Amino acid sequence: MNSRDCDFLLVSCTTLSSKKATYVYNNNKYDIQFTLPFSGAAAYLGSYVTQRGYTFDFINSFDEEKDMLKEKLKGNVKLVGITTKFVPELQKNALQLQQIVSFIRACNSKCEIVIGGLSFASLIQYETDSMRSLFMRIVGADYYINSFYGEESIVQLLNYKSGIGEISEVNNLFYKVKSNYLFTKQIVDYSNLEDNYIDWTVFKDRLGLQIPIRTAISCPFNCEYCSFPMYGGPYQVMSIRNIERELRTLAAVNPTALLQFIDDSFNVPLNRFKDILRMLIRNKFSFRWISYFRCIDTDDETIELMRQSGCIGVMLGIESGSQTVLHNMNKKVDHEKAKELIRKFRNAGILTYVFLLVGFPGETKQTIEETISFMNESCPTTYYMQMWNCQIGTPIDNKREQYKITGAEYNWKHYTMDSSTAQECIRYMRSKIQNTTDYLGDYAIFEFWYHFLRIGGKLDALKQIDIKLQ
């Protein structure tokens, strides 16, 4: 077996990219290299298959690591997996995936390819059999896993390819027979968090700055625009003992990592959240961390524990400054409490990143003004604004008649707005929201903040920094 040989090679697709930038602070010029966050799929799937006896390798980003992929494909690779990024239209996904499949086949005509992941499963969920079949033929992979988790199907497929069992024993699998795809059987295969412990030392040579950490699966809430709780299955949380065990393996190989707690409701319930914070402090980790944060009642002790444990930023899903829109979204945000929280986070030196969703049923010119007022009164550090995606299968999709919704994805109309008006509103809001920074977008603001803190930067100074991307 040569060093390139492996049983399972995972290729992650991501919309993110690394980039270089420069900025000036206190008359000094600084260079900064923004890196890609480590692939969560590689961490979770890699741990799962290696713990079951298979060798594993990965590509963190197809776009950025093609040469590395080419090199790895020179080896004897039993199976290549492709995780899908979320692009709403089936057609666009098909063309992007087709390019990746062709690239892999050109490098190694012998290895077989499987496509799966949450995005793929949600994408084909509501398609007809003929559309699914057309999609799979265009993309040209050998197998497709129709499951929101799929780790066990990958292991079953590796077993089959190692001569153990039959293809029909692999659950949730489309497999190719001549020019058609047959389906094995659909079973619910919710991942058990407690069994999916990650040993970060396995990835020690390729860990970058930002590391995704998952301590829960699914979500206990039920926002009307979101399909995640339906696909994610029952809400599960990892024991604090296991979180601690996992983080100790990371501290051994990457002690100053920037952790991204990727749970949608990391601070719920509050007592568990506080216990996690106390565990982080007790271990004297040198990590810095960021997370999503629900705007629920939060006492001062929690914010102090967050600060002491290394929190440098929180993402707040405020979505709208209008109670009418929030009511329609089934999103429980109290604006006065949210303003108070943003103020407390600012005082603690914790960056606040607010998400806004524009155009949800109930949105009007008036509610847009309410959102602008909320933003200008609360002054979060930065924000991200996007137009409502009228996604098939979300709870609101069952209320089309009630809200007079027509169209789908980013082309829609309902009783109070249409998608082109929403786009105009976004431009208008950008011109009216003041006192926040929105120069970097996506994840890079946290990475920048991590570096800026190390040179003694303060939150207030962030607004004056002119970052020039190269």
Judged by CB, which is closer to ligand SF4: 376, or 389? 389
Among 43, 158, 216, 223, binds ligand SF4 (CB under 6 A): 223
Helices and strands (H and E) in the chain: how many: 17, 20
Does 222 help bind ligand SF4 (rule: CB under 6 A)? yes
Is residue 113 within the footprint of ligand SF4 (CB under 6 A)?
no
Distance CA 159, CA 165 (A): 7
For residue 390, the minimal CB distance to ligand SF4 (Å) is: 15
Please pick, from the candidates 226, 311, 318, 425, the single residue that binds ligand SF4 as defined by CB under 6 A: 226
Q: How far apart are CA 317 and CA 225, in angstroms?
A: 12
Q: Which is nearer to ligand SF4, 228 or 403 (CB)?
A: 228
Bridge partners for 411 per DSSP = 408
Extract the tokens encoding 154. 């990958």
The residue to which tokens 């062709």 are assigned: 102
Site for ligand SF4 in 304-333 (CB under 6 A): 317
Q: Please choose, from the candidates 58, 59, 39, the residue with its C-alpha nearest in 3D space to the C-alpha of residue 212.
A: 39
Longest dimension (CA), the chain: 67
| Cα separation values, 395 from 7, 390, 448, Å | 40, 10, 36
Nearer to ligand SF4, 140 or 229 (CB): 229
Q: By CB under 6 A, tell whether 221 contacts ligand SF4.
A: yes
Q: Please identify, using beta-carbon distances, which residue of 229 and 349 lies nearer to ligand SF4.
A: 229
Q: How far is the CB of 388 from ligand SF4 (least distance, A)?
A: 12
Is the peptide bond preceding residue 380 cis, with omega within 30 degrees of 0? no
Task: Say whether residue 219 binds ligand SF4 (CB under 6 A).
Answer: yes
Binding letters toward ligand SF4, positions 432-451, x by CB under 6 A: --------------------
CB of 226 vs ligand SF4, minimal distance in Å: 3
What are the tokens at 270?
A: 């509050």
In this complex, which beta carbon is closest to ligand SF4, that of residue 81 or of residue 232? Answer: 232
Residue 104 CB, nearest approach to ligand SF4 (Å): 32
Minimum CB separation of residue 247 from ligand SF4 in Å reads 23
Pairing of strands 258-261, 56-59: unpaired
Using the CB atoms, write b or e for 301-330: b if 16+ within 10 Å: ebbebbbebbbbbbbbbbbbbbebbbebbe
- Name the residue nearer to ligand SF4 (CB basis): 247 or 341: 341
Determine the straight-line distance between the first and last CA of the chain, rounded to whole angstroms: 42
Q: How far is the CB of 213 from ligand SF4 (least distance, A)?
A: 17
CB-based contact 158:54 (threshold 8 Å): yes
Alpha-carbon span 8 to 112, nearest angstrom? 10
x/- contact string, 255-284, with ligand SF4 (CB under 6 A)?
Answer: ---------xx-------------------
Kindly tell me which of 208 and 395 has the beta carbon lying closer to ligand SF4.
395
The answer to whether 78 touches 159, Cβ cutoff 8 Å, is no
In the complex with ligand SF4, which residue's Cβ is closer, 152 or 264?
Answer: 264
DSSP assignment of 290-347 equals EEEE------HHHHHHHHHTTEEEEEEEEE-S-HHHHHHHT----HHHHHHHHHHHHH
**154 vs 223 by CB, closer to ligand SF4:** 223
Q: Is residue 131 helix, strand or coil?
A: helix
Contact region for ligand SF4 (CB under 6 A) — 119-127, 217-225, 278-286, 430-438?
217-225
Which of 88, 208, 229, 349 is in the footprint of ligand SF4 by CB under 6 A?
Answer: 229
Residue type, 123: L
- Asked whether position 355 contacts ligand SF4 by CB under 6 A, the answer is no
Q: How far is the CB of 463 from ligand SF4 (least distance, A)?
A: 28
The least CB distance from residue 210 to ligand SF4, in Å, is: 20
Check residue 228 for interaction with ligand SF4 (CB under 6 A).
Answer: yes
* Smaller CB separation from ligand SF4, 75 or 220: 220
Is residue 386 a contact residue for ligand SF4 (CB under 6 A)?
A: no
Residue 248 C-beta: closest distance to ligand SF4, Å: 28
How far apart CA 396 and CA 329 sit, in angstroms, is: 8
CB of 224 to ligand SF4, least distance (A): 9
H/E stretch holding 182 reads strand 180-183
Name 356's bridge partners: 319, 385
Residue ranges that bind ligand SF4, judged by CB under 6 A: 219, 221-223, 226, 228-229, 264-265, 317
